[in-house]
Amino acid sequence: MNEDIARSFQKIDDDLTFLMNCFREVLEELGEHDLASNLPWINQVKVDAEPNPRRCQAYSIAFQLLNMVEENVAAQVRRSRESEIGLSGEPGLWADHLRKMRESGIAETQIAEELNKIRIEPVLTAHPTEAKRLAVLEQHRALHGLIVGRENPMWTPLEQEEQGETITQKYANRSTATYNLELLLAGTQSRYYLPDWFGIGTALQRLQGSNPEGFGQVVELRQSYPFLRFVLTNAETNLASAERPLMEKYATLCPPEERVTAVFRRILEEFDLAQSMLREVLGGDAATRRPRFTKTHQMRADALLVLHTQQVTLLRDWRAALASGDNKSAERFLADLLVCINAIASSLRTTG
Burial 70-96 (b: 16+ CB within 10 A, else e): bebbeeebeeebeeeeeebbeeeeeeb
Closest CA to 171 of 151, 143, 147: 143
Task: Classify residue 117: in a domain, yes or no.
Answer: no
Query: What pTM did the predictor assign?
Result: 0.79
**Domain ends where: 177, 199, 233?**
177
| Backbone angles phi and psi of 45, in degrees to 5 | -70, 130
pLDDT digits 0-9 by tens, 59-95: 988 998 898 898 888 888 888 888 888 888 787 788 8
DSSP annotation of 256 reads -
Sign of torsion over alpha carbons 211, 217, 219, 225: negative
Residues of the chain with pLDDT under 50: 1, 128-129, 174-185, 351-352
Element (H, E) at 217: helix 212-221
**Domain ends where: 123, 145, 177?**
177
Distances (CA, A) of 176 to 64, 131, 184, 211, 212: 10, 15, 22, 57, 56
Assess whether 141 and 193 both reside in one domain. no
Task: Classify residue 144: in a domain, yes or no.
Answer: yes
> Based on the structure, what is the number of domains in the chain?
2
Assess whether 149 and 224 both reside in one domain. no
Task: Classify residue 115: in a domain, yes or no.
Answer: no
Task: Classify residue 25: in a domain, yes or no.
Answer: yes
pLDDT digits 0-9 by tens, 298-331: 899 889 999 999 999 999 999 999 999 999 999 9
Assess whether 200 and 256 both reside in one domain. yes
Assess whether 65 and 203 both reside in one domain. no
Assess whether 330 and 295 both reside in one domain. yes
CA distance 294 to 299: 9
Distances (CA, A) of 103 to 39, 87, 97, 170, 273: 50, 16, 10, 50, 38
CA distance 107 to 327: 72
Assess whether 322 and 210 both reside in one domain. yes
Task: Classify residue 122: in a domain, yes or no.
Answer: no
Task: Classify residue 200: in a domain, yes or no.
Answer: yes
Assess whether 21 and 141 both reside in one domain. yes
Angle at CA 52, nearest 5°, toward 47 and 56?
A: 80
Domain that holds residue 218: 186-348
Task: Classify residue 121: in a domain, yes or no.
Answer: no
Residue 47, SS3? coil
Residue 352, SS3? coil
CA distance between the termini of the chain? 30
Q: Classify the phi-psi angles of 31: left when phi > 0, otherwise alpha if psi is within -120 to 50, otherwise beta.
A: left
Sign of torsion over alpha carbons 19, 28, 338, 237: positive
Assess whether 62 and 170 both reside in one domain. yes
Assess whether 172 and 252 both reside in one domain. no
Task: Classify residue 116: in a domain, yes or no.
Answer: no
Assess whether 81 and 29 both reside in one domain. yes
pLDDT of residue 138: 72
**Domain ends where: 177, 206, 233?**
177
Assess whether 254 and 143 both reside in one domain. no
DSSP letters for 104-131 = TT--HHHHHHHHTT--------SS--S-
CA distance 85 to 99: 12
Q: 38 CB contacts (<8 Å, ≥6 apart)? A: 45, 46, 55, 58
Assess whether 224 and 167 both reside in one domain. no
CA distance 96 to 102: 10
Contact between residue 148 and residue 117 where contact means Cβ atoms under 8 Å apart: no
pLDDT of residue 282: 93
- Exposed/middle/buried for 245, CB within 10 Å: 0-12, 13-18, 19+? exposed
